[in-house]
Chain A
Amino acid sequence: MSTSATAANLPTSQYSNYHTKVARSRATSEPVWIRWSLVVITLLFLSLFLFVPLIAVFTEALRKGFDTYIIALVDPDALSSIKLTLIAAAIAVPLNLVFGVAAAWAIAKFEFKGKSILITLIDLPFAVSPVIAGLIYVLIFGLQGWVGSTLVDHDIKVIFAVPGIVLATIFVTFPFVARELIPLMQAQGKDEEEAGLVLGASGWQILWRITLPNVKWGLLYGVILTNARAMGEFGAVSVVSGHIRGMTNTMPLHVEILYNEYNYAAAFAVASLLALLALVTLALKTFVEWRVAQNAISNENSYN
């Protein structure tokens, strides 16, 4: 998964340059024409699948001029979809963050039976189609669902309402923080925590002053990925939302509605905000990876 990238980058980053130099200076590299053909083929492939579609989002958004673009964004339905997307992420991200820390603490610092089964179970949401993630909450909270009639009696709406959207968002982003923290905290061991304990720190003090500062970049990395997926989720949210304009539409759903109404300029205008969010996510992610690599190098130097 993408999330293993930071951990993998840790020990190798400082040697990658070395490898490139060695490979090029010895008899172990390819002729120049092969090198450049491979680079060109790669760029062509990435252009067809990544760069051209990304540029298309912005050009389509601005096709009818900047005024139309702004009008599409300040439309009340667009604004309410932005608000709902922010609310869903603001609830889902912290909940999955707390879960990730708790799961990583139990799994990385203690030995117990069934640990590998637990790790696989935490991964389950990655293997579930977003559509099915929405479906299972309809089966429980929908009108014909397990608790459907109880909810009606108490006038609580989950499906086709905000709570369902939040639940579906939590489900699809469930493993991100935990997956990031577990290998990191396992690699760090528990010597520092035990030292803290001997010096009289309480459990919460150890968590706040030792463990969390040690894993802060991994934590941030997990939060960035969780947030990107939470704001962009489409399939799962689409099943539980009911598509009520101005009420239960998130930004991706609003994009779909506008698009199906052939209002392409407005659809791409809202989509361009989500594409900007994706670019900011990638920039932050690259920054965190760079910081982790820097820390690894400075640690290496301080040991020598």
Chain B
Amino acid sequence: MAKHKNVLPGFNLSLGYTLLYLSLIVLIPLSAAFIKTTELSFNEFWAVVSAPRVVASYKLTFGASFLGALLNAVFGLLTAWVLVRYTFPGKKIIDALVDLPFALPTAVAGIALTAVYSTNGWIGHWLEQYGIKVAFTPLGVIIALTFIGLPFVVRTVQPVLQDLEAETEEAAASLGANRWQTFSKVIMPTLWPALLTGFALAFARAIGEYGSVIFIAGNVPFVSEITPLIIITKLEQYEYAEATAVAVVMLVISFLLLFSINGMQWWFSRRGTSSH
């Protein structure tokens, strides 16, 4: 569409305001983080971001986020499947409640999970009999990160599953495929893009998470201390440049993730339209 043909007013005003607001709230403050780290020499920067305690926090943050996202991929797919395909009492309420982690403040989620999973909590008490400790261990971090990422996979897979044509499954069945073959060879290939997108979104959300984790994690250095907490600890000791150095590492990783998620969605949507 050629630009000179567009007769609607307000382009300069709306785009100008958008760019101004975006710069003031997001871009200039974010650039402050990158500029602040230039106060450190490269060797100083490297010493801060590769300190053993910080490296241990990366391992926990990324490892627990990965496992949480993986749990969500499996159970999110199952939840989406059950919500789309089957009918059972209370389905509509459960469907609405899946979004609870988006709506519930993270601090509330944090203390609620701690209350339930600590050794005298409803579930923690029961798990302790089997020798499993959740609260104040890395397992607690995984539980919290699974909670906050729970809606992503369900909400990306659900619409794709709803749009599936029943005819393709009927065709597979009439050609002699059993139910498992139909699922793994006909249904799953169409679900992969959505599943992968949901996994990536849950993972990206989890690595930055703070509020729901700190209550249940116990925050023991080298054991259950996440990277966002390292940033806070350094800030409270007025080590601004050091805090910012760790923040920049996380920002770069988060941005790479965001770009790959956007790229993935763009690629899947192109592939989707060209096949029609």
Contact = CB atoms under 8 A, between A and B. Distances in A.
Interface in A246-294: 251-253, 255-256, 259, 264, 267-268, 271, 274-275, 277-279, 281-283, 285-286
B112 A53 contact: yes
Interface stretch (A19-27, A66-74, A149-157, A295-303): A19-27
Contacts of B104: 54, 232, 274-275, 278
A183 to B, nearest CB: 12
Given A9-B159, A127-B255, A128-B208, A110 B122 contact: no
A91 interface: no
A57 interface: yes
Contacts of B128: none
B103 A19 contact: no
Contact of B182 (A28, A281, A282, A283): A28
B50 to A, nearest CB: 19
Contact of A126 (B22, B155, B258): B258
Interface string B99-129: 1111111111101110110000111000000
Contacts of B15: 106, 110, 112
Interface string A43-84: 101101111111011001000000000000000000000000
B98 A46 contact: yes
Contacts of A30: 179
B240 interface: yes
Interface string B75-90: 1001101101111100
A222 to B, nearest CB: 13
Interface of A: 1-2, 4-5, 8-9, 12, 15-16, 19-20, 22-23, 26-30, 35, 38-39, 41-43, 45-46, 48-54, 56-57, 60, 99, 102-103, 105-107, 109-112, 118, 120-132, 135-140, 142, 144-146, 167, 170-171, 174, 190, 193-194, 197, 202-203, 206-207, 225, 228, 231-235, 238-239, 251-253, 255-256, 259, 264, 267-268, 271, 274-275, 277-279, 281-283, 285-286
Contacts of B235: 135, 138, 239
A19 to B, nearest CB: 6
Q: Top 8 A-B pairs ranked by shortest CB distance?
A: A232-B105, A129-B208, A234-B211, A8-B159, A235-B210, A203-B9, A278-B103, A53-B112
A10 to B, nearest CB: 10
B10 interface: yes
B105 A139 contact: no
Interface of B: 1, 3, 6-11, 13-15, 17-19, 21-22, 25-30, 32-33, 36, 75, 78-79, 81-82, 84-88, 92, 94, 96-109, 111-113, 115-116, 121-123, 143, 146-147, 150-152, 155, 158-159, 162-164, 166, 169-170, 172-174, 179, 182, 201, 204, 207-211, 215, 228-229, 231-232, 235, 240, 243-244, 247, 250-251, 254-255, 257-259, 262
Given A121-B26, A127-B204, A128-B208, A2 B102 contact: yes
Contact of B107 (A4, A23, A122, A252): A252
Given A103-B18, A275-B108, A110 B11 contact: yes
Nearest to A146: B32
A106 B85 CA distance: 40
B106 A132 contact: no
B81 A120 contact: no
Contact of A41 (B78, B85, B201, B259): B78
Contacts of A194: 7-8
A2 B162 contact: no
B1 A111 contact: yes
Contact of A281 (B103, B146, B174): B103
Nearest to A123: B258
A268 B114 CA distance: 12
A60 B107 CA distance: 15
A127 B164 contact: no
Given A42-B75, A138-B235, A271-B107, A132 B258 contact: no
B244 A135 contact: yes
A266 B238 CA distance: 31
B100 A38 contact: no
Given A28-B169, A139-B36, A56 B112 contact: yes
Contact of A19 (B26, B82, B84): B84
Contacts of B94: 43, 46
A97 to B, nearest CB: 12
18 contacts: A19-B84, A19-B166, A28-B172, A38-B86, A45-B79, A46-B98, A103-B18, A118-B19, A125-B26, A127-B254, A130-B211, A130-B228, A131-B231, A132-B33, A136-B33, A232-B106, A234-B107, A239-B232
Given A28-B173, A138-B240, A259-B215, 6 more contacts: A8-B159, A9-B159, A12-B159, A48-B123, A139-B36, A286-B96
A135 B33 contact: yes
A109 B21 contact: no
